[in-house]
A and B are shown apart, each in its own frame.
Chain A
Amino acid sequence: MNPYVGEMILGIFLAATILLVKVSISFTAPFIYQGF
């Protein structure tokens, strides 16, 4: 495979991971931020 295409795919994976973390935070923040 062209190494530049490979790099792009890895970059997309990276962004998708961030999106996944963001979505998970939306669900888990209530447990983390107890606030008292």
Chain B
Amino acid sequence: MKLETTIERLLSGPVSWWALIRVLAWGLIVTVVIGQMLPEPVYRDSKDLFDRSDSVRMLLNNDQLLHESIKFEGDKQMRLAWIGGSSVTNMFAKPGDRFLPIKTADRLAEIRNVEVNGYYYTQQAQRFIDVYTLLLDALQRSPDVIVITLNPFWIYSNHAIFRSLTVIENRSDLWFSIADWPLWLSVTSPSSHFLTHVGGSVPLFMPPGKFRRGVTTGQNWLFGKPSSQAKAEITGENFYNFDGPLAFWLNQTTTRFDGPRPNEEHDPMWGRRQFQADILERANTSANSFGAVTFRKIDKLLANSGVPVLFYIAPLSPLIEEDIPAARGYERVVKAVVAQEKNKGANNMRFVTEIPQPVLDTLHHYDLIHVSDYGDLGQYLAEQIDTLLRAQQ
């Protein structure tokens, strides 16, 4: 055996247990040293959304969850935790105006005459299982009130139920409980636990950060390019390459992109709306769907916690009415949320399933869900939170 001879020559003799332990020790030391030399993989999107001392962004820009405990100054404040996806950010607004939770928190501070400190768990394309996982973290930080944005596209979607695995890879310990052992066993992997516990302190073992582009190009390389040019746009550079697996699924099956493209030049968001409508059309609201089961888990968790929680369905563009299959999907989703509200486990939860028309009229959507102007939505949600808190007193 050539390798064995080389090793024996390196060690000047047969391998002993102590020699092996010393080799492993050197390996560990060098691993830690290399880890220190690697560029820091976790950094924040600092000033994109907000830069305020009373607000903390809990998810780092590669979707890893912040570990540290956070202390806000002063003691007469209200702690607000907000879990929501892209629908609460508006990248077309000026920097101070981009983030719905901050706008709402400011209105709430005026209404209740308190300082509001925020833990903001926001990420792009947030999936329902992410909401559950982030809630486990939020509850540990004992907030006074929690707001959960229900995105009608994702809550009952069976496709790509994970936005990504990095939240879990970073914090598989959140699922390590009697209630969650099936999740812990079936969804996490040994590497998740290893990365959670060892990766936190040895940078070389930290999970790989962004690989969105790789997901898209990788699938094209493995499975061939999408059959039509229009479908290729789903996975195009400016499109949903952060949802590679879902985009892959849709571009193998959807027929939405195969017909003529109306008003393409005047309506650059057409393809984007088709993609969103496609997801909504496929909403699975049956009682044992992944979304429904997750919702029941969230309900149970919150009922036991006793923390006041406001759920609201993110308002959609009126254009949804023009797309019959998607509009039916939306109706199914709202019906399922209303049913969930009726079966809620405790009275600390308030659901807003329909936002009044005068508030909706002040919103400006640029696709089916994302807005370029929040209008009075922040004010309305602040009033809803206030109503919820009054009912709890």
Q: Using a CB–CB distance below 8 Å, which chain A residues touch chain B? A: 1-4, 6-12, 14-16, 18-19, 22, 25-27, 29-31, 33-36
Contacts and interface: CB of A to CB of B under 8 A. Distances in A.
30 contacts: A3-B19, A8-B26, A9-B10, A10-B7, A10-B27, A11-B23, A11-B25, A11-B27, A11-B28, A12-B30, A14-B23, A14-B24, A14-B27, A14-B31, A15-B27, A15-B34, A18-B27, A19-B31, A19-B34, A22-B208, A26-B208, A26-B211, A29-B214, A30-B215, A31-B222, A35-B164, A35-B245, A36-B161, A36-B245, A36-B249
A3 B12 contact: yes
Interface in B1-28: 7, 9-13, 19, 22-28
A12 B10 CA distance: 13
B211 A34 contact: no
B11 A6 contact: yes
A8 B159 CA distance: 49
A2 B23 CA distance: 14
Nearest to B191: A25
A36 to B, nearest CB: 5
B11 A11 contact: no
B214 A30 contact: yes
Interface string B265-304: 0000000000000000000000000000000000000000
A4 B159 CA distance: 54
Interface string B354-379: 00000000000000000000000000
A27 B19 CA distance: 34
Contact of A1 (B12, B22, B160, B164): B12
A4 B22 contact: yes
A22 B26 contact: no
A21 B11 CA distance: 25
B15 to A, nearest CB: 10
A24 B215 CA distance: 14
Given A11-B23, A14-B24, A30-B218, A25 B208 contact: yes
B315 interface: no
Interface residues of B, number: 38
A31 B19 CA distance: 38
Interface of B: 7, 9-13, 19, 22-31, 33-34, 159-162, 164-165, 204-205, 208, 211, 214-215, 218-219, 222, 244-246, 249
Nearest to B18: A7
A3 to B, nearest CB: 4
Task: Count chain A CB atoms within 10 A of each CB in B12, B165, B246 and give the residue with the most.
Answer: B12
A16 B34 CA distance: 9
Contacts of B22: 4, 7, 11
B162 A15 contact: no
Contacts of A6: 9-12
Contacts of B28: 11, 15
Given A3-B19, A7-B19, A30-B244, A36 B34 contact: no
Contacts of B26: 7-8, 10-12, 14-15
A15 B26 CA distance: 8
Nearest to A14: B27
A26 to B, nearest CB: 4
Contacts of B246: 36
B165 A33 contact: yes
B168 to A, nearest CB: 11
